[in-house]
Amino acid sequence: MKTYKNIPERGDFVYQQLVGPCKTTGPALNETRSFFGLLLSKSMPFGSVRDDEGHIYSFVRSVMAPTGTPNPTRFFYQSTRIDGQHIRMDTERMAKQALTPMPTQTLDGDTVRWTSLPGEEGNPWLLEASAEHIKWVEEGLYELQGKPVGCGMQWYLPGVEWGTFYVSQLWSLSGVCEGREVKGLMALDQVYMAEGGAIHFKKDLVVNNKMHVIWWSFATVYKDGTFDSGSFMVGHDNLGYAIFNNEKGEVRTTTDIEGVAVHKDGSYFLDHARIVLDGSEEWEFLPDEKGEMADFVGGFPITAQQEGRWRRVGDTREPDHWLAWGESDRRNGSARNVRGADL
């Protein structure tokens, strides 16, 4: 049971989150209604794939909603082929893609489809999703498709003035990127915010108040066909949630989560991290040696973005493909209510 030394004002739940599963369908993804008084800001497809040489390709696109307020993200495309050491922005390839401030959006049965605008400058793109399938094409770069991994995930964070409602679905991917066969995973997230709010930017209850220590979406598909997938956050005060799925259809949620983030000396990136669910279940982060997204540092998003793999401590299954794109912020802290500092 939680205890309170200081009594908050009315409407302030001290960053207590509500978390649970949800169904993913084309009509649900297409819907532009509000929830909890919050407006749909945008959809955010992002993911990482790897080729048979072990190179990583990571990408994210901002798919704005009519009710949304933009942040600096439009389309980012990164890979380890730039310098062979880290995941770096491929500015030359990025510059060739359509930026699309507001996409075309249509619904055909159970499939929602977003596309660049006819005649828009830059290579066209297409993103379509349903309950059973996803396809993402960036002409000149990649064509990827796949199926869902686990169920939809949702969390809600109330605030006195602002709030956040966040919905996510993870997907297994395969296809061709830069002419090479690849496989990996992606997330398709949708965020609802107060009017004028933008994730990581304006009226963001978590980021603008420097409240979170680690925040991750992850999935690992193992060679034996099993998988783990989920999303979690650890922060200050009551901030924290976890929702995990597996191939058995088991869905587990909790707000009893603690964690420790250990950063490299003189770096914004993690050396290692652990989380503990319900006081006993431990998971660990295994950073990819080339997984640091170096070009985000000092830019946008303002947190250190990083790739690797999350696994339950002691799990010996052999991974086939995986995603663990998330963020930490040493300025915010290393554990709950352990505040941090800049370099």
Q: Please check the confidence at residue 268 and state whether its pLDDT lies above 90.
A: yes
Place of tokens 């380890």: 80
Helix or strand or coil: residue 72?
coil
| pLDDT value for 337 | 97
Range list of H helices, 87-241: 91-94
Give dist(CA 135, CA 146) in Å, integer: 7
Indicate the burial class of 161 (C-beta count within 10 angstroms; 0-12, 13-18, 19 or more): exposed
Q: Please check the confidence at residue 300 and state whether its pLDDT lies above 80.
A: no
Percent of the chain residues topping a pLDDT of 70:
100
Give dist(CA 88, CA 292) in Å, integer: 8
Band (pLDDT 50/70/90 cuts) for residue 65 is very high
Query: Phi/psi of residue 288, each to 5°?
Result: -70, 135
DSSP 258-296: EEEEEEPTT-SSEEEEEEEETTTEEEEEEEEEEEEBGGG
Give dist(CA 244, CA 219) in Å, integer: 9
| Residue 174: C-alpha distances to residues 50, 134, 287, 309 (Å) | 9, 11, 22, 18
| pLDDT value for 299 | 77
| pLDDT value for 289 | 96
What does the pLDDT average to over 100-122?
A: 97
Residues 6 or more apart whose CB falls under 8 angstroms from that of 172 comprise 146, 147, 148, 149, 183, 185, 219, 221, 321
Band (pLDDT 50/70/90 cuts) for residue 114 is very high
- 8-state DSSP, 194: S
Q: Token pair for residue 39? A: 């407006």
Q: Please check the confidence at residue 314 and state whether its pLDDT lies above 80.
A: yes
Q: Is the dihedral of CA 122, 198, 309, 91 positive or negative?
A: positive
| pLDDT value for 303 | 87
Give the residue from 138, 168, 314 showing the smallest Cα distance to 233. 168
205-227, pLDDT tens digit by residue? Answer: 999 999 999 999 999 999 999 99
Range list of H helices, the chain: 26-30, 91-94
For residue 314, count other CB atoms closer than 10 A to its CB.
7
| pLDDT value for 301 | 75
State if pTM tops 0.85.
Answer: yes
| pLDDT value for 90 | 98
Q: Please check the confidence at residue 26 and state whether its pLDDT lies above 90.
A: yes
Give dist(CA 125, CA 256) in Å, integer: 40
Helix or strand or coil: residue 222?
strand
Q: Please check the confidence at residue 262 and state whether its pLDDT lies above 80.
A: yes
What does the pLDDT average to over 2-25?
A: 96
| pLDDT value for 68 | 96
Pairing of strands 88-89, 39-51: unpaired
Band (pLDDT 50/70/90 cuts) for residue 1 is confident
Mean pLDDT of the chain: 97
